[in-house]
Chains A and B, each alone.
Chain A
Amino acid sequence: MKGIITVVGKDSVGIIAKVCTYLADQKINILDISQTIVSGFFNMMMIVDLSGQKFEKAEDDLIALGKEIGVDIRLQREDIFNSMHRI
Chain B
Amino acid sequence: MITHHEVLETNEMIQHENLDVRTITMGISLMDCMDSDTEKLKTKIYDKITKSAKDLVKTGDEIGNEFGVPIVNKRISVTPISLVTSGHGQNACVQVAQTLDRAAKEVGVNFIGGYSALVQKGSTKGDIDLVRSIPEALSSTERVCSSVNVGSSRNGINMNAVRKMGEIIKEMAYLTKDNNAMACAKFVVFCNAVEDNPFMAGAFHGVGERDRVINVGVSGPGVVKAALENVRGADFETLCETVKKTAFKITRVGQLVALEASKRLGVPFGIIDLSLAPTPAIGDSIAEIFHEMGLEHAGAPGTTAALAILNDNVKKGGVMASSYVGGLSGAFIPVSEDHGMIDAVNAGALSLEKLEAMTCVCSVGLDMIAIPGDTPASTISGIIADEMAIGMVNNKTTAVRIIPVLGANVGDTVEFGGLLGYAPIMPVNKFGCEAFIKRGGRIPAPIHSFKN
Which residues of A pack against B, CB within 8 Å? 4, 6, 32, 34, 36, 43, 45, 47, 55-56, 59, 74-85
Contacts and interface: CB of A to CB of B under 8 A. Distances in A.
Nearest to B250: A84
18 contacts: A34-B4, A43-B4, A45-B4, A45-B8, A47-B2, A55-B66, A56-B62, A74-B11, A75-B68, A76-B66, A79-B67, A80-B10, A80-B68, A81-B10, A83-B252, A84-B10, A84-B249, A85-B249
State which size class the interface on B falls in: 20 to 34
Interface in B318-346: none
Contacts of B6: 81, 84-85
Interface string B246-259: 00010011011000
Given A45-B8, A77-B66, A78-B2, 17 more contacts: A4-B2, A4-B7, A6-B7, A6-B8, A6-B11, A45-B7, A59-B65, A76-B67, A79-B256, A80-B68, A81-B6, A82-B2, A83-B252, A83-B253, A84-B253, A85-B2, A85-B10
Contacts of A4: 2, 7
Given A32-B1, A56-B65, A83 B7 contact: no
Contacts of A84: 6, 10, 249, 252-253
B69 interface: yes
A81 B7 contact: yes
A43 B256 CA distance: 26
Contacts of A56: 62, 65
Interface string B3-43: 01011111100000000000000000000000000000000
Nearest to B62: A56
Contacts of A83: 252-253, 255-256
A2 B67 CA distance: 11
B284 to A, nearest CB: 19
Nearest to A82: B2
Pick the 8 closest A-B CB pairs, nearest first: A76-B68, A83-B256, A80-B67, A83-B252, A85-B6, A81-B2, A34-B4, A84-B249
